[in-house]
Structure 1
């Protein structure tokens, strides 16, 4: 879990050559304060006093700018920089901070970090790492599986057949990501990524069979570590009257809010004799066509409208010949 600068250095320090410049704080230094957790503050970026970053990076260009300032302007800039209470100030390219940085850092209790990597390389690595590590997360009950390259979450009441359906899909060449408690993180404005808790990875519980190790049974190609959530299929045991009430043109397509992102959702009736694995594959193929801009229901309606127009041509106008 990434919740402090100390854990950040433990996980990325050796690879990114990060080190403490003014000593490691005795207590954990939070990466983002609770009041800023949902703010628009950028996680990391080059020195910016107008829109401060959580981690302010100073490279050679920023150092030259600071050195060119007069004494008063330099001190005012540092005062503004530290007043925003960044989680840390990071010096790239092996730069040594001006002595004034150490004085301000001690006054504001701000850690200073250093790295021999260039500022652009450092920002790119840490932005990717922090975006994933600090993303909003939510755990949903269901089976998360990759079908035809799309991440599909199977949900429904207990004992409705989610695990049995997932097992059927796995035998048809699709891949398990997580059973029971997949974890989802919003890694981009419209992107939700699903993963599996470490303790549950590779396992699938099937009633009557117990816990199955899908990797051991079907091989490496039957499991996947993570996938973008593209579609939710809600398995519901509907009676004939409820099934008859479904829209026969558009089906039961709706949307489910997951971490602020609307995920397409299909309610799939569960009834004896229905081959759910084939239906899930068909639902995924249908959703792929929707993403590409094609909707079979709309196409069918347009085709019927054209047929009606051809069968019943417009009457001749007032001045037309008989």
Structure 2
């Protein structure tokens, strides 16, 4: 299970900390969801997930105002479950008694000007990314025409050189050598670079180069969805390679399937233009056009016409 520091959430969402003297360095979030404690404010705590961020919106605050004599007692019981924090939306005014109670219980009180729904949606989206299952693999991730292309293969086969040529052709590098893959949904994989190696490429015989410094900020990108995998492998004359592409091949990361092409490497092959063509072809297929299927249909129609002409002659 992955965690994220509460301080990172405060910084990311620009939250106002109403209990700044509390030490929050030990508070970590482990649930990618939030909770509006409506039932809990009414005293029902069965199945209460206390590890979630607790959000107080306009409705919850109106209820608390209605039972103002019991407000502190109800929130005290909520804090007894050691929730990570309580966030008040819409810049709701927080009573001084509640802030004193928060210091006593060690529960941070935060505030935002955002509406409750928009804040919850933004937090859930961000936490889903931060807490997503992840793996690290050996490869290169580049953004080619808006498609995330993951280039894999044996060490020294030419992945970094292909990425460098793509950068010179106007595309963007996400990461070289190590790709951190996060599963943010059942359909989406996001690739990022480790902080240490971000924007660097290793070229054998030359060494380490800083892509951002050499080619400018437009040549790099921090994150990118992984749409297509290109696997580079040594040419094997005894192996049969796909020459039509009628059936897609897939590889799997964290349970998600991604289209995969195996590209044989021989001297003189321009890897950069092959990767570009693969990216454009993949985009065409997403838009409903399949060149291999079009060729198959033409051949089939031509054979049918020829067969009909032969029947007419007899």
Q: TM-score, normalised by structure 2?
A: 0.79
Q: 1:287-302 maps to which residues of 2 (within 5 A)?
A: 287-302=282-297
Kindly tell me: are residues 97 and 303 of structure 1, through their superposed partners in 2, closer, same or farther at Cα, counting changes over 3 Å? farther
CA RMSD in angstroms, aligned pairs only: 3.6
1:29 matched to which residue of 2? 27
Instruction: List gaps (5 residues or longer) in structure 2.
Output: 40-46
**1:151 aligned onto 2:141:** no
For the 8 Å contact 1:142–1:153, the answer to whether it is kept is yes
Give the direction of change, closer, same or farther, for the CA distance of 1:170–1:61 in structure 2 (3 Å limit): same
Offset, 1:150: 1.1
8 A contact 1:140–1:182 mirrored in 2:
yes
Structure 1 residues 257 and 223, CA gap change in structure 2 (3 angstroms) = same
Task: State the aligned residue count.
Answer: 300
Gaps of 5+ in 1: 317-322
> Residues 110 and 253 (structure 1 numbering): CA distance in 2 closer, same or farther, change over 3 Å?
farther
Within the alignment, does 1:172 sit opposite 2:180 as a pair?
no
CA, structure 1 residues 215+5, in 2 after alignment: closer, same or farther (shift >3 Å)?
Answer: closer
Q: C-alpha separation between the residues in 2 aligned to 1:20 and 1:193? A: 35
Q: Which one of the candidate residues 195, 198, 203 is aligned to 2:195?
A: 198
2:245 to 250, 255, 279: 250
C-alpha distance in 1, partners of 2:267/2:24? 63
Q: 1:297 to 1:48 in 2, by over 3 A?
A: farther
CA distance change for structure 1 residues 78 and 142 in 2, over 3 Å: closer, same or farther? same
Q: How does 1:1-322 map to 2 (within 5 A)?
A: 3-9=4-10, 11-12=11-12, 15-20=14-19, 24=22, 28-32=26-30, 43-47=33-37, 49=39, 54-68=52-66, 86-92=83-89, 93-96=91-94, 111-120=107-116, 121-242=118-239, 245-250=240-245, 253-313=248-308
Q: Which range moves more in the overlay, 131-140 or 94-103?
A: 94-103
Distance in 2, Cα, partners of 1:258 & 1:62: 41
Q: What SS is found at the alignment partner of 2:280? A: helix
C-alpha separation in 2, matches of 1:77 and 1:287: 54
Q: Is contact 2:135-2:182 (8 Å) kept?
A: yes
* Residues 1:191 and 1:51: Cα distance change in structure 2 (over 3 Å): farther
